[in-house]
Structure 1
Amino acid sequence: MAATLSRRSVFKVLAGVVAVASGGKAQYGYAPSLAYPALKVGNINNLRDGQAVYFNYPDGSAQGVLVKLGQRAIGGVGRGRDIVAFSAACTHMGCGVQFKGGRFVCPCHYSMFDPAKAGQCYQGLASTPLPQIRLRVAQNGDLLAQGVVGLIWGRARNI
């Protein structure tokens, strides 16, 4: 007589394997154990709605883009929670995204990402959101990048 496994049993076993393999810590997304540098990427007083500011983070070969959306956003900072930053590398093939019409557009294959919804892809060939750069606002209004949620395209590690 053969034993049958329920879906729930299989899921529990797989979850246990993942937990053991990862040392009990989540490995996807922002890893607090990584020593991300804090870097000034702008000042809250110099931003205008819809204007993109490009910068390099977490190192000189990774471009990021900061934008004040004028509407509340997931992970947004500032008074209106409308300032966000993302990796500027499309998650499909690494082309540089551009901020146009309230969204990020990849000029290579036309993937589109919603900056108000944590960089979620809603059109095109990309299948994952843009990695979001975590921001903090200093007392003087400086915007500091201080981590990345997700893996930057083409990398095995962000830093």
Structure 2
Amino acid sequence: MSQITRRRFVGSGMTIVALASLPRARAQAMAPSLGYPATRIGSLGTLKEGVGQYFAYPDDAAQGLLLKLGKPAIGGLGKERDIVAFSAACTHMGCGVAYKGERLQCPCHYSMFDPAKNGQVYQGLASSYLPQIPLRIDAAGDIYAVAVEGLIWGRARNILSKGA
């Protein structure tokens, strides 16, 4: 039986940390959204920069937040690539998040998420990104939610598992 050296132990730990921090897009590719119907959630004409609009998606029990950030965002649409949407349920305990000062904030335990970077958590008790809701904009300027990338808090299955 071989002994594990301190160097090998630390090296293995670093490998695990590196694998766990792979970009979110790769994780999402492994966990695609269920086939939710495209749902109209707003329009370009009523969307105001810096003001979030709440909507129900993928069903009446789940609230989302539509944003026009005023700067380009990962997954953003529109002329400036700044229109994005996220689940409004914090990934820590499901409290409703609000858009304040260029970030999504949870009032319950102070988690903060960056809407320009896929809803990445950068402060607080939440340990995962907010699920991003991919959008489509039609020729008339109507905005549609078309999927959910990630697991909405409190749900056991809103994404497909491998082989399902």
Q: TM-score, normalised to structure 1's length? A: 0.81
- Tell me the secondary structure at the aligned position of residue 116 of structure 1: helix
Deviation per CA, 1:89-134, whole angstroms, max 9, x where unpaired?
0000000001111110000000000000000000000010000001
Would the aligned equivalents of 1:58 and 1:158 in 2 still touch at CA under 8 Å? no
1:140 corresponds to which letter in structure 2? Answer: A
Report what 1:52 is aligned to.
52
Structure 1 portions without partners, runs of 5+: 12-25
Q: Following TM superposition, by how much is the alpha carbon of 1:39 offset from its aligned partner in structure 2, in angstroms?
A: 0.4
Q: Distance in 1 between matches of 2:80 and 2:30?
A: 31
Q: Following TM superposition, by how much is the alpha carbon of 1:48 offset from its aligned partner in structure 2, in angstroms?
A: 1.2
Structure that is richer in strand per residue = 1
Q: Distance in 2 between matches of 1:158 and 1:78?
A: 27
Report what 2:148 is aligned to.
148
Q: What is the 5 A alignment of 1:111-150?
A: 111-150=111-150
Q: Following TM superposition, by how much is the alpha carbon of 1:156 offset from its aligned partner in structure 2, in angstroms?
A: 1.1
Q: Distance in 2 between matches of 1:156 and 1:139?
A: 36
Report what 2:43 is aligned to.
43
Q: Following TM superposition, by how much is the alpha carbon of 1:140 offset from its aligned partner in structure 2, in angstroms?
A: 0.3
Report what 1:20 is aligned to.
none
Structure 2 portions without partners, runs of 5+: 16-28, 160-164
Q: TM-score, normalised to structure 2's length? A: 0.78
